[in-house]
Every structure is written in structure tokens, then in C-alpha cells.
């Protein structure tokens, strides 16, 4: 990818963060100037219902071309904000940072160095010492352990808002739904496997309140199942549904034959017997055959849909001769 004339892009998704925006912009500006980095801030207002956008307009007048902003007409979620921010980013290295001042811009120079000099594709922040309440820390630990186990990526904090990316990464992945929690997994699935981690300074929230409740944990685990399935079977759903459906059909069919054969044997040997239709096992076997058939058809339909997909033969490449 062609080298950019912007050293650093900082993508900042925000929702009702009017108090913190001036301080955050000044902080980022100071750090980048101190380290002689050309930069751009990309603030994505996710449909705030306070006067965050008016604050951004005043900051635009102050920072000029160093500040770009996108305003959503309604609240679409953090993933949508990051997706639009990534599309707009022009920097050689791209950062994501929450707008609540809990992430420190002082981490920018070192994380950038890790990408450019140590060869990482992505460097994720690790809030080793957190200033969040226990009700957020404990579910987060469980969530991170599960994500590490499922993905094989050895990160302590998948959901840290402070991350640093090589520009190729953000231009190659699609963040949607609630998948912002799993950007490292999306990056790995796209072929960017050099994923690192840095302990970062975490600060207590200075203004406002958190916009995420406990329901994010339920959504997080459901999204983890989704991203895991898509990474392994997204291009070949028949491998999953077809294999599971065939197994269930054979198990149910074999059980049905065994029940019938058992009845015939008892009839031949004049042994006491029960009617096949009086045995619960017979109905369980029939049910397994029906479900197996449906799973197989689901896989077949998935293959037909995948075959019609416009991007089925889009493959990422980084070198050509």
C-alpha cells in the first residue's frame, strides 16, 4: 500500500462526550507535536443527543485540517463508528481511542514504534490496572479468558479501546454489528497474525457515565460464537451443517434399524416384545433423522447463497512479482 503523508490517524468514536472532547483533542495535539508526528483526528459522533457535535464544530475551527468529523443521524453503535472512521483514515498508522479520557494519548509514540519497528500488524492496549468498578472487571476477565481460548490469540484485554494498527489492517477488515470487541480476531482471520500487546495507563472516567451496561456481556459472547463460526465455516457452511446433519441422520437411522431389528428378533424367538411405536427411543431416532435432514439442507442452502456472493473470490494479497 502506498506510503501516507500522515503519520498517525486517531479514530475516536463518541456518544454524548461533550465535556471530554476539548481536553482529548488538546492532549492528542500536544503528544503528536512533541514527537514531531503529522496527525489527523477523526471524530465519529454516533448520534449524540447532547451538544457534542457543536463542540466538534468549534474544535474544527481551532484545529483545521487536523480534525475530521462524521455525524450519524442516529445511534448505530461503536462498530459502525469505527468502520466509517477506518474508511476515512489516511495515516500510516491508525489508532482507535475512546473519547472518555480513560485512554491516554501518551501511549501513541511507543505503540507506533512497535508497529513500525517491531513489525506488528496490530498492537492492543492492556489495562492491567483498571479504574472501573468490580461489576465491570469480573465479567471482563471471564470474557477475555473465553476469547483467548476460542481464538488462540494471547491478549489479556480484547475490548480495550486503545489499539494501534498498520493501515493495511483497517483497510482490509469489515467491522459491523458488535464486532468491535473482536477486531484482533477479524485481523487474524484476514491474515494479519503479528498481534502484540502493550500495558497502557488507564484512568478513571472524568466526565459523564459509561454508555455500556451488563447486556454487553451477553452480546459479547453471542458475537464470539458468530465470529468463530464465520472464521472457520464462513466460506464453506456445508462443512459444518452437512457434517453435523449427516452424523445425526446416520445416528437416528441406525437407532431406528436397531429398534426394528430387535423387534424382528424377538418375534422370531417368541420372546416378549413391545410395539415399535410404544418405544420412546424410536421417536427420538426419527426426530434425529428429521433434524439431521434439516441441518444438511441448511448447509446446502448456505453453499448456494455463498456461491452467489459477490465477494466469494476476494482474497487479500500483500506481494506480487
Per residue in 248-260, pLDDT tens?
999 999 998 988 8
* pLDDT(319) > 60: no
Residue identified by cell 456472493 is 309
Q: Pick the closest to residue 52 from 12, 9, 10 (CA basis).
A: 12
* pLDDT(283) > 70: yes
Percent of the chain's residues with pLDDT above 90? 45
Total Cβ atoms within 10 A of residue 178: 17
Q: What angle do CA 316, 96, 182 make, to 5 degrees?
A: 55
* pLDDT(317) > 60: no
* pLDDT(205) > 60: yes
pLDDT band for position 246 (cuts 50, 70, 90): very high
How far apart are the C-alpha atoms of 147 and 179, rounded to whole Å? 13
Domain spanning 6-233: which superfamily? Spore Coat Polysaccharide Biosynthesis Protein SpsA; Chain A (3.90.550.10)
Q: At what angle do helices 280-307 and 237-268 cross, to 10 degrees?
A: 160
Cβ contact 200:108 at 8 Å: no
Task: List C-alpha distances in Å: 5 to 40, 93, 97, 115, 253.
Answer: 11, 11, 21, 17, 65
The torsion angles phi and psi of 229, rounded to 5 degrees, stand at -65, -45
pLDDT recorded at residue 207: 72
With a CB cutoff of 8 Å and minimum separation 6, the contacts of 155 are 124, 126, 144, 147, 148, 184, 195, 197
Return the SS3 of 289. helix
- Dmax (CA) for the chain in angstroms is 97
Considering only CA atoms, give the Rg of the chain. Answer: 26
User: What is the pTM (predicted TM-score) of this model?
Assistant: 0.74
**Range with top average pLDDT, 114-123, 129-138, 252-261, 301-310:** 114-123
Average pLDDT over residues 87-96: 94
What are the tens digits of pLDDT across the range 127-171?
887 766 666 667 777 777 888 887 888 888 888 889 999 999 999
pLDDT recorded at residue 215: 63
Give the residue, 220 or 90, on which the prediction is more confident: 90
Give the residue, 190 or 96, on which the prediction is more confident: 96
Return the domain boundaries, the chain: 6-233, 237-307
pLDDT recorded at residue 54: 94
Q: Which of 24-33, 85-94, 101-110, 261-270 has the lowest mean pLDDT?
A: 261-270
* pLDDT(58) > 70: yes
Q: Pick the closest to residue 12 from 119, 128, 102, 141 (CA basis).
A: 102
Average pLDDT over residues 54-78: 92
Mean pLDDT of the chain: 85
Q: Which is it for strands 122-126 and 195-199: parallel, antiparallel or unpaired?
A: parallel
Enter the C-alpha cell of residue 232.
472457520
pLDDT recorded at residue 198: 93
Total Cβ atoms within 10 A of residue 151: 20
Q: At what angle do helices 108-117 and 21-34 cross, to 10 degrees?
A: 50
Average pLDDT over residues 176-202: 87
Average pLDDT over residues 69-87: 91
How far apart are the C-alpha atoms of 12 and 302, rounded to whole Å? 36
Amino acid at each position: 500500500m502506498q506510503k501516507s503523508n500522515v503519520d498517525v490517524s486517531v479514530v475516536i468514536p463518541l456518544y454524548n462526550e461533550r465535556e471530554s472532547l476539548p481536553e482529548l483533542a488538546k492532549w492528542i495535539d500536544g503528544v503528536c507535536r512533541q514527537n514531531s508526528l503529522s496527525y489527523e483526528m477523526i471524530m465519529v459522533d454516533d448520534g449524540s443527543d447532547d451538544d457534542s457535535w457543536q463542540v466538534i464544530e468549534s474544535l474544527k475551527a481551532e484545529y483545521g485540517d487536523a480534525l475530521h468529523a462524521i455525524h450519524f443521524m442516529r445511534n448505530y453503535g461503536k462498530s459502525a463508528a469505527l468502520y466509517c472512521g477506518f474508511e476515512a483514515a489516511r495515516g500510516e498508522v491508525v489508532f482507535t481511542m475512546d473519547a472518555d479520557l480513560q485512554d491516554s494519548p501518551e501511549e501513541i509514540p511507543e505503540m507506533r514504534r512497535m508497529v513500525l519497528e517491531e513489525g506488528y500488524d496490530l498492537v492492543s492496549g492492556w489495562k492491567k490496572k483498571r479504574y472501573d468498578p468490580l461489576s465491570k472487571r469480573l465479567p471482563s476477565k471471564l470474557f477475555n479468558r473465553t476469547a483467548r481460548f476460542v481464538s488462540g490469540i494471547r491478549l489479556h484485554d480484547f475490548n480495550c479501546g486503545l489499539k494501534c494498527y498498520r493501515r493495511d489492517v483497517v483497510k482490509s477488515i469489515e467491522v459491523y454489528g458488535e464486532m468491535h470487541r473482536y477486531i484482533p480476531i477479524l485481523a487474524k482471520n484476514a491474515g494479519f497474525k503479528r498481534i502484540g500487546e502493550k500495558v497502557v495507563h488507564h484512568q478513571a472516567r472524568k466526565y459523564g457515565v459509561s454508555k455500556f451496561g451488563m447486556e454487553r456481556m451477553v452480546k459479547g459472547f453471542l458475537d464470539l460464537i458468530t465470529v468463530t463460526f464465520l472464521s472457520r465455516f464462513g466460506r464453506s457452511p456445508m462443512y459444518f451443517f452437512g457434517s453435523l446433519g449427516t452424523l445425526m441422520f446416520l445416528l437416528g437411522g441406525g437407532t431406528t434399524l436397531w429398534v426394528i431389528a430387535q423387534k424382528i428378533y424377538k418375534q422370531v424367538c417368541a420372546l416378549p416384545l413391545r410395539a415399535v411405536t410404544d418405544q420412546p427411543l424410536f421417536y427420538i431416532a426419527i426426530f434425529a433423522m428429521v433434524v439431521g435432514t434439516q441441518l444438511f439442507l441448511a448447509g446446502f442452502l448456505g453453499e448456494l447463497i455463498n456461491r452467489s456472493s459477490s465477494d466469494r473470490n476476494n482474497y487479500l494479497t500483500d506481494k506480487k512479482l
